Amino acid sequence: MSRKVKKQFPGASSYLDRHGKRRWRYRKKGLSIELGTNYASKEFLRRYEDAVSDVERPKSERRVLKHSFYSLSEKYYQSSAYEKLAASTRKKYRRTLESFLAEYGEKSAATIKLRHVRKILNDLHNTPSIANQLLLLLQCLFELAMDYEWRNDNPADKTKPFAEKKENIHTWSEAEIARFEARHPAGTLANTAMNLMLYTGAARVDVVKLGPQNVVEGRLRYRRQKTENSNGVLIDIPLHPHLETLLKSLPKCKKYFLRAFQCKATFARRFGELHAHLVR
């Protein structure tokens, strides 16, 4: 029987950055503190000891590098601008920002120059959508830094976004729909999802939220997630007879049509994976 080996640095874990380089960080009680790339080195030990000490202090007394991007990002997460974002957008922004902080979190947001910002973004030129999302976040961060009088300019405003390739979306023909339904017959998740989008025009993020509560007097009504925070226009369309028959045949589930197949909170993410392969 093997004995469980005690971890040398509890709370420390490694990951690969976007350059494929292994880095270490300390994570506990909502904190994520970078420990560098040289495991067990003097610098690693110093950062680890500081990180452990930080976690044990009251939140108001934790050590934060003055004017660092770590400090600025914490202010951003607490700002009204961030709170007003949809939950899915906050999650997407946080993922992009945390990736940036892993490499630049300890850098000064007060003294960074335009050339540095352009260099950071140019390193992401192979993924223009991610680069543009980071540019948007940096614009927000520097705007906040100006509000706190850390600096008097916004270098991200002087940087142009990258051109993104937009692929034309192919509209399925009747023959392609027939082939799909031959492979995914009525009563399957794929068939139900396809028919919901076909007869409603709902986006993926909206179709996973549709349920019996959206059907009123033979009509389907919902607000698009993209506009719900600004009281967007209510989508109100007749429920197609074919779709109505299909939905009535579904197994009963709490709230959503598609969760009749898998009633779990992770369904929206897993449906995203299915959506990418629907035409295969």
Domain CATH for 118:
1.10.150.130
**Are 82 and 132 part of one and the same domain?**
yes
**Are 121 and 201 part of one and the same domain?**
no
User: Can you list the positions of beta strands (E) in 140-274?
Assistant: 215-216, 219-223, 234-238
**Which amino acid is it at 89?**
T
**Are 181 and 105 part of one and the same domain?**
no
pLDDT of residue 1: 38
**Are 71 and 162 part of one and the same domain?**
yes
153-159 CB contacts, 8 Å cutoff, 24+ apart: 155/112, 155/113, 155/114, 155/116, 155/117, 156/117, 158/114, 159/114, 159/117, 159/118, 159/121, 159/135
pLDDT of residue 266: 46
**Are 183 and 270 part of one and the same domain?**
yes
3 located within any domain: no
194 located within any domain: yes
User: Which strands make up the sheet holding 31-36, listed edge to edge?
Assistant: 12-16, 22-28, 31-36
pLDDT of residue 230: 58
pLDDT of residue 157: 92
106 located within any domain: yes
**Are 50 and 108 part of one and the same domain?**
no
User: Which range marks the domain in which residue 91 is found?
Assistant: 66-166
Residue that finishes a domain, picked among 138, 166, 194: 166
Counted domains in the chain: 3
**Are 162 and 191 part of one and the same domain?**
no
**Are 135 and 45 part of one and the same domain?**
no
**Are 144 and 196 part of one and the same domain?**
no
Residue that finishes a domain, picked among 114, 146, 166: 166
pLDDT of residue 125: 87
How confident is the prediction along the chain (280 residues), in pLDDT tens digits per residue? Answer: 344 435 788 888 888 766 677 888 787 765 667 787 888 888 888 888 877 876 666 655 555 567 889 889 888 988 888 888 878 788 889 889 988 988 888 888 988 999 999 999 999 988 898 999 999 999 999 999 999 888 899 999 988 898 877 666 778 888 888 898 899 888 888 888 888 888 888 888 888 888 888 888 888 888 887 766 656 668 888 989 888 888 888 776 667 888 766 644 445 555 555 555 554 4
**Are 228 and 162 part of one and the same domain?**
no
Residue 25, classed as helix, strand or coil, is: strand
**Are 85 and 153 part of one and the same domain?**
yes
Residue that finishes a domain, picked among 147, 166, 185: 166
* Greatest distance between any 2 Cα atoms in the chain: 70
4 located within any domain: no
226 located within any domain: yes
206 located within any domain: yes
**Are 51 and 84 part of one and the same domain?**
no
User: What residues contact 45, with CB distance under 8 A and at least 6 apart?
Assistant: none
1 located within any domain: no
pLDDT of residue 119: 93
